[in-house]
Amino acid sequence: MRTVAVVGAGAIGASWAALALHQGYDVIAADPAASAEITLRATVDRQLRELQRIHGENMCGQLTFTTDIESAAARADLVLEGGPERLDVKRELFARLDSAADADVLLCSSSSGLPPSSFQDACTEHPERVLVTHPFNPPHLMPLVEVVGGRQTSDAAVEAAMTVMRSLDKQPIRLRRELPGHVANRLQAALWREAYSLVDSGALSLADIDTAISAGPGLRWALLGPFVTQHLSGGPGGIEHVLEHLGPPMVEWWDDLGHPQLSPELVAAIVDGVDAELAGVDTEQLVTRRDAALSDLLALKARHHLIDLQPTPEGNDA
């Protein structure tokens, strides 16, 4: 693989482009809006500086820009799509990409929730090479990628996508079936549901909910996943001990979890709560500091070999 086409030059596309360039691949970024090039290049330059600070020298391929999506796909060894999260747009885009790209080129969508089966049937030539490779934002920093095949996706395409994502220094996980929202967003949604319910009930402030996670379980979850964290909390008895003694109370907590509705009142409360928590904070600077902290945390995990505690390729593909 030498050339990556990034279709859609927004936040996700720019981050994909920076990552691929850092790994030494040439990138053709395609977006129908000619004004997108200026923003793209500024974003990629900033993100490449971040990656250089983290990893040292960039291998850095060449970045080119075009408004012609088909020409980008025709010249690529891999296509990463990051267009709008709208099914009609995805179907049109993938039909065009399918007709332009060589038959052995993977067509990968960054969709955060659409299953590949919902748009791959728009590809009349090679739907078997269409799948989702959903990154966690920002892709140039966050290791996670969810690999999801559709009804027509071949096993070979899924295996190739897993290999390609690892070559981009990602930690891919393979979903064994399609799920709305994939996995990571569903896990987030479960937490958000209860967080929104707690705000709705007036149990505590939005800022205190953020603190409850960032100063509590979020610290441990950033190092190890929920099951290993739960296992370690059980001492010598591990997760078996936890489930034996704390399992029944946990089920009672599940039964008491809220089912909030996004009423105008709740939306207003959430917006007002975030505004209050971030009063006087420069959001752009906060994002910069967050990304710097993310890179430091990833380096720390790598140094302590915690980042190695991931499923093996065999475990992912079982």
pLDDT digits (tens, 9 = 90+) for 237-262: 999 999 999 999 999 999 999 999 99
Strands 130-135 and 106-109: parallel
pTM over 0.75: yes
Band (pLDDT 50/70/90 cuts) for residue 304 is confident
E strand intervals along 170-230: 171-175
3-175 and 185-279 have identical folds: no
Domain spans in the chain, listed from the N-terminal domain onward: 3-175, 185-279
Q: What is the rounded distance in angstroms from the CA atom of residue 139 to the CA atom of residue 171?
A: 11
CATH class of residue range 3-175: alpha beta
Q: Is the pLDDT of residue 309 over 70?
A: no
Q: Please determine, looking at this structure, whether the domain spanning 185-279 carries the CATH number 3.30.1160.10.
A: no
Asked whether 160 and 106 are in contact (CB, 8 A), the reply is: yes
> Tens digit of pLDDT for each residue in 106-151?
999 999 999 999 999 999 999 999 999 999 999 999 999 999 999 9
Q: Which of 246, 312, 297 is nearest to 143 (CA)?
A: 297
Query: Of all residues in the chain, what percent carry a pLDDT higher than 70?
Result: 96
Distance CA 234, CA 236 (A): 6
